[in-house]
Amino acid sequence: MSQLKVYKASAGSGKTFRLAIEYMKLALTNESNYRHILAVTFTNKATAEMKSRIIGELHRLAKGRDSVYMDVLTRELGWQPMQVQRQAQLVLKRILHDYSRFSISTIDSFFQRVIKAFNRELGINAAYNVELDEKSILEEATDRLIQSVEDDPKLLEWLDAFASDKIREGKGWNLKKDIVRLGSEIYNETFKSLNEALYEKLNDRTFLREYRGKLSKIIVLYENKLKSLGQEGLNILATEGLSAEDFKSKGSGPAAGFQKMKDLKFVLNITTIKSTTELSAWVTASTKEPQKSHLEGVAQSKLMPKMQEAVQLVETQSRNYITAKLIINQLYTLGILVDLRKTVKDLCREKGIVLISDSGHLLKNVIADSETPFVYEKTGSVYSHFMIDEFQDTSGLQWNNFRPLIGNSLSEDNLSMVVGDVKQAIYRWRSGDWRLLAGKLGDSFPAFGLQNEVLISNWRSHGKVICFNNTVFRLAPEILQQHIEGELSEAGIAENPVQITIPEVYADSVQEISNKDVAGLGYVRVRLLESKEEIAGENEKLILSELVESVKSLQDKGVKAIEMAILVRFKKEASLIADLFLEQKGLPENRNYNFDILSGESLYIANSVVIGFVVSLLTSFLNPDDQVVKAEVNFLYYRKIYPRLKVHGESEDRSQKSEDRSRKAEDGILEATERSPKVNPKPETRNPQPATPKL
């Protein structure tokens, strides 16, 4: 029996290269093997790149051209170069003549193939279509849901509570938009994993009413008990002529906890727990007699027993109390989701469509009730080897669907492998579960075990960048883990509930420099802002100014513009930086620097300042009395267009006049906006003051 190969590979370590090598080793060993290999990726682009790489390398090997794959293949297969070349010719020819069996696809594509083979068993129309635009279906279902409130008073009550909450939170409200945003949860795997019996319960109005009553009882009993203990403690203090100020730590000490109990603000921490058994938590050693003896007597005989009751109450019942509060506050939300789910299902049935997010759950029913050979028989393909790329983004459901197939492969002594990097897990919003790669994978095949390999060489980055990353990933996990443990300890939680620690997750992050020639090369500079407030105002301009100076400084050091990339968080920031660089390009002092910038988002026509200016100009022709448009034309020309047209050596007088016109244009926009009772809507790109990025 084989072991599942697990490659853990940080960025730049050659994981795609390794996956391609393993694929070609299998394919070259037997010219028919390509029919029995399934390699899955997460995107169509990655699929196309993988296919292109394998076909391209097979072509180079077949033609006897230089290929970095030749040395690796001859070494790991134990073949001579001529044998590799001959076999590559044969395999390439067979793949090209049987391309449909060259199985490299996305996970969703593979799932769809299986579902189509089982449409009768799943009760799906054979002519069904896969719907990729789930949001449009959700929006249509939301419209139906809102229209149905006249016949469903309970739904109306839920929607009213939902809208009221949004208003109380100060978020304003657009009911349809908010429901659509909430409704995206029905596509989440956690929500989908609920069984039909539970859905039926949640759709039962009587059940929900009774359930709400039980939740209310849990909340009331807990709060009444905690308040009662708090009041009893306060009564003891009053009877003894004492207050929290007389005890250790005063307002933050254990004696102050009784008022917190009454106010339902009592929480467990180290001090609270100590106060149930240690007198030193109540009275300081420096307290003078006879006050010290009096305080110790009251604490030991009267206050500590009440504190013990309170701590026991919180330890044994607070979890149910907090859970009940969270559920009861969101019970209407759950009701809306269940109704919305039913409406979406009805809509899909009417349209004869299957949502792409439903593929995994449909396949789960197939895999769970069928033997692996039968699944292959129905799909017309028999896979002996499985390769999963970007495994850190695989969801629990997807893995559960693959697991029996891979288990069958391993039991037949075939190679299966997964490749991933926990640090690059970015699909949590699609239920990606990084914990599979971090630790859970070993529990899937206890009979077979895992063969773990870490690709430690970085082939992409220069030495200084690698050293910087190694330092960060060596120190940061420890610091963060200590911080979390400190927070847990402060909250009185002695045992860490997190099964996998942060240092364990990042244990394999340190990389080696693959090429000693670049060991001393590279550049890293970190500029940190202390707070959000520091990002605001003039500092935003400072950041943009520093960005320009950094680009110029790097070019002075010999770095080409084509070797630079600027990463931002939001699309609008990319557009703003592209705009900034276009302005810099037109300045005389920058004629020796390259500020040409290429970005898919920033180069949209809609984001062009020039296009915005032309549209504003045409709008002013159509609406000659619109003062806002006129002011906007002036602003765009003098602030955005004119700086690019300035000739070298322009006189200071002329430059000052253009600046004056620019300021007048800005003032004109404000004045015109205040005067105008109604402004025609303008394209977003003509906003005279776009948001400044927070880089």
Confirm whether 662 is domain-assigned: no
Confirm whether 481 is domain-assigned: yes
Average pLDDT over residues 516-539: 72
Same domain? For 82 and 162 the reply is no
Task: Identify the band that residue 302 occupies on the pLDDT scale cut at 50, 70 and 90.
Answer: very high
Average pLDDT over residues 69-95: 95
Same domain? For 208 and 335 the reply is yes
Q: How far apart are CA 203 and CA 206, in angstroms?
A: 9
Confirm whether 433 is domain-assigned: yes
Phi, psi of 471 (to 5 degrees): -65, -45
Q: How far apart are CA 407 and CA 546, in angstroms?
A: 55
Confirm whether 491 is domain-assigned: yes
Residue 102 scores a pLDDT above 90: yes
Same domain? For 164 and 196 the reply is yes
Q: How far apart are CA 62 and CA 84, in angstroms?
A: 8
pLDDT the model gives residue 593: 93
Average pLDDT over residues 218-222: 95
Three-state SS string over 402-450 comes to HHHHHHHHHHCCCCCEEEECHHHCCCHHHCECCHHHHCHHHHCCCCCCE
pLDDT the model gives residue 6: 92
Average pLDDT over residues 459-480: 91
pLDDT the model gives residue 7: 92
Q: Which amino acid is at 522?
A: G
pLDDT the model gives residue 470: 92
Least confident range from 213-217, 430-434, 493-497, 611-615: namely 493-497
Same domain? For 286 and 183 the reply is yes
pLDDT the model gives residue 503: 86
Question: If we measure between CA atoms, which residue out of 692, 644, 643, 640 comes closest to residue 666?
Answer: 640
Contacts with 489 (C-beta within 8 Å, 6 or more apart), sequence order: 270
Chain position carrying tokens 């990726």: 41
Tally the C-alpha atoms within 13 A of residue 627's C-alpha that lie toward its C-beta.
13
- The side-by-side arrangement of strands in the sheet containing 104-106 is 104-106, 37-41, 385-388, 417-420, 4-9, 450-455
Q: How far apart are CA 541 and CA 192, in angstroms?
A: 47
Domain with 415 in it: what CATH number?
Answer: 3.40.50.300
pLDDT the model gives residue 496: 61
* The domain boundary residue, chosen from 351, 372, 395: 351
Same domain? For 307 and 164 the reply is yes
Average pLDDT over residues 574-584: 83
pLDDT the model gives residue 236: 93
* The domain boundary residue, chosen from 575, 605, 635: 605
Q: Copy the structure tokens of residue 544.
A: 């943009």
Same domain? For 257 and 346 the reply is yes
Same domain? For 510 and 554 the reply is no
Q: What percent of the chain has pLDDT over 90?
A: 29
Average pLDDT over residues 301-305: 93
pLDDT the model gives residue 692: 36
Q: How far apart are CA 426 and CA 428, in angstroms?
A: 6
Q: List the beta bridge partners of residue 183.
A: none
Same domain? For 333 and 451 the reply is no
Question: For the chain, how many structural domains are there in total?
Answer: 4
Secondary-structure percent of the chain, ordered helix, strand, coil, rounded to 5 = 65, 5, 30
Higher pLDDT, 366 or 536: 366
pLDDT the model gives residue 79: 94
Confirm whether 622 is domain-assigned: no
pLDDT the model gives residue 448: 87
pLDDT the model gives residue 77: 94
Question: If we measure between CA atoms, which residue out of 18, 33, 158 comes closest to residue 101?
Answer: 33
Output the CA–CA distances (angstroms, integers) from residue 41 to 24, 92, 108, 180, in the order listed. 17, 22, 9, 29
pLDDT the model gives residue 83: 95
Buried b (16+ CB within 10 A) or exposed e, 546-561: ebbeebbebbeeeeee
Same domain? For 499 and 371 the reply is no
Residue 497 scores a pLDDT above 70: no
Confirm whether 567 is domain-assigned: yes
Q: How far apart are CA 469 and CA 513, in angstroms?
A: 12
Average pLDDT over residues 91-99: 95
Chain position carrying tokens 């690059």: 424
pLDDT the model gives residue 668: 54
Average pLDDT over residues 471-478: 91
pLDDT the model gives residue 680: 42
The DSSP line for 37-71 is EEEEESSHHHHHHHHHHHHHHHHHHHHT---HHHH
pTM exceeding 0.75: no
Tens-digit pLDDT profile for residues 618-660: 998 988 888 888 888 888 887 767 766 654 444 445 555 555 5
Task: Identify the band that residue 207 occupies on the pLDDT scale cut at 50, 70 and 90.
Answer: confident
Average pLDDT over residues 182-200: 80
Same domain? For 105 and 168 the reply is no
Task: Identify the band that residue 665 occupies on the pLDDT scale cut at 50, 70 and 90.
Answer: low
Residue 145 scores a pLDDT above 60: yes
336: helix, coil or strand?
A: helix
Same domain? For 226 and 346 the reply is yes
Average pLDDT over residues 314-324: 91
In the predicted model, what is the mean pLDDT of the chain? Answer: 83
Average pLDDT over residues 543-562: 90
Buried b (16+ CB within 10 A) or exposed e, 482-517: eeeeeeeeeebeeeeeeeebbbebbbbbebebbeee
Residue 28 scores a pLDDT above 90: yes
In contact, 361 and 186? CB cutoff 8 Å: no
* The domain boundary residue, chosen from 471, 487, 518: 518
Average pLDDT over residues 136-160: 87
453: helix, coil or strand?
A: strand
Which DSSP state fits 300?
A: I
Q: What percent of the chain has pLDDT over 70?
A: 86
Confirm whether 366 is domain-assigned: yes
pLDDT the model gives residue 685: 39
Higher pLDDT, 238 or 606: 238
Same domain? For 134 and 118 the reply is no
Domain residues for the domain of 35 are: 4-124+358-455
pLDDT the model gives residue 517: 75
pLDDT the model gives residue 693: 36
Residue 684 scores a pLDDT above 70: no
Confirm whether 616 is domain-assigned: no
Output the CA–CA distances (angstroms, integers) from residue 525 to 141, 461, 547, 554, in the order listed. 50, 15, 12, 11
